[in-house]
Amino acid sequence: MEQYSTSNIQQGNEPVLRPKLIFWIVVLSILPLSLFLSIWATGFFGGFLFMFLYGFLKIKLSFFLVILALVLLFILINSLFIWIIYGRAKKSEYHFFEDRIEYYEGFLSIEKKVVYYSRITNIGLKKGLFEKRYGLGSIYIDTASSSPKGHELNIASIENPDQWYKWLFPKINQKNLQ
């Protein structure tokens, strides 16, 4: 599977950042949820199918058909998740200006937001177990209006996160001190 490349693309004078996704890391990250949904969907829809086939038509289902349905649902659900994640990553862009960050995220619909450096209250850096191995990481940005459950901006799966964090941190402190 092709890796979606990120680079520090220049458009005008502002740096532009895009996420980099590695196929097997994406699959591992969605594995628990997709496995749960596959088993649940097989049981839920399989129950209705069993009721209809066995209850009304008196047809017996083999164990092989149940396993086949589970595998097919697992593949279908994983494919759907991967399609959504890659589609969203291809549309995500983070533009860094002198006084603000503009970002575009979404897949089926694009959301544009602007975060001014002077409004940022907290910035964090996270590198997961698998991300570290590939030089990737995430930068989390909070503002006063961020909810306690989430961050205002999550710049996920970027290359050289330490360098971006070091570049961004002084800009935020400088704007907050003024």
* Amino acid letter, residue 13: N
Structure tokens that stand for 102 in this block: 């503009």
What pLDDT was estimated at residue 153?
86
The whole-angstrom separation of Cα 17 and Cα 141 is 15
pLDDT in tens, 124-175: 999 988 888 889 999 999 888 776 767 788 888 899 999 999 988 888 877 6
Q: What's the pTM? A: 0.70
What pLDDT was estimated at residue 138?
92
Domains with residue ranges and CATH for the chain: 24-87 (no CATH), 92-177 (2.30.29.30)
Q: Given the structure tokens 């890796």, which residue do they identify?
A: 3
pLDDT in tens, 72-120: 888 888 888 889 888 888 889 999 998 899 999 888 888 899 999 988 8
What pLDDT was estimated at residue 94?
93
Q: Given the structure tokens 């990250």, which residue do they identify?
A: 29
* Closest C-alpha among 142, 131, 152 to residue 172: 142
Q: Which helix (H) or strand (E) segment is 27 a member of?
A: helix 23-50
What pLDDT was estimated at residue 136?
92
pLDDT band at 176 (very low <50, low <70, confident <90, very high): low
How do beta strands 120-126 and 110-116 pair? Answer: unpaired
16, 93 in Cβ contact below 8 A? yes
Q: Show Cβ contacts of residue 69 under 8 Å, excluding neighbours closer than 6 positions.
A: 42, 45, 46
